Structure 1
Amino acid sequence: MTSYYSVIEVTPTQEEWIPGYIGPATQLVHKHGGKYLARTATHERVEGDRDNPALRVIIEWPSKQAALDFMNDPDYAPHLKSRSDGSISHHALVEGKDDMA
């Protein structure tokens, strides 16, 4: 089975949501089989001219369904809303394969 990766860029516009988000989101990621590979503000742009987000997060999932189950988990919904309302966020789901090989 192919792994999938969530690549998330987050720039908070408000910070009130952050303390209530981290713990529950972490538990839900683990509940759905996800593993954090990176969750950091330590990164740098090495190509292009797009603004750097404040945080980059990479989560490995055992399957696409596991990632979708996490995103659609009713327990995650209020936390996703608080993150979405309090940040500029982009989330891409990437299949772990090489289409160019």
Structure 2
Amino acid sequence: MPKGYWMARVDVADAERYKDYVAANAVAFAKYGARFLVRGGRFENPEGGSRSRNVLIEFPSYQAALDCWNSPEYQQAWAIRKPISTGDVIIVEGYDGPQPGG
């Protein structure tokens, strides 16, 4: 079964209050088996638009990724983030098919 992913790009307007969001989202992420693959860090933007913060979160399945977003636990965390940031979030199913050179 393919994994699920959240791909997020976020601009944060209030870094101090964003810490409250990070603390709150940990409850949902732990419940749904989330694992951060990218959490901020350096980046290049060779094409298209960007935001200041990039995050890639892996879940055990696409359904777990959807369930996490829709959970009361995450919605409470998102309510903290919403007024202090602007973001783009995509929930996508992973790919288990053939790879180049393989």
Identity %: 29
TM-score (norm 1): 0.83
- Whether 1:92 and 2:90 are equivalent positions in the alignment is yes
Q: How far apart, CA to CA, are the structure 1 residues paired with 2:56 and 2:88?
A: 12
Q: 1:94 is matched by which residue type in structure 2?
A: V
Q: 2:77 is matched by which residue type in structure 1?
A: H
TM-score (norm 2): 0.82
Higher share in helix: 2
Q: How far apart, CA to CA, are the structure 2 residues paired with 1:76 and 1:98?
A: 27
Partner of 1:25: 25
- Residues 62 and 94 in structure 2, CA contact (< 8 A), matched pair in contact too: no
* 1:54-69 pair list within 5 angstroms: 54-69=52-67
- Residues 10 and 87 in structure 1, CA contact (< 8 A), matched pair in contact too: yes
The CA deviation at 1:16 is: 4.2
The CA deviation at 1:8 is: 0.4
The CA deviation at 1:41 is: 3.7
Runs of 4+ in structure 1 off by over 3 angstroms are 98-101
Partner of 1:44: 44
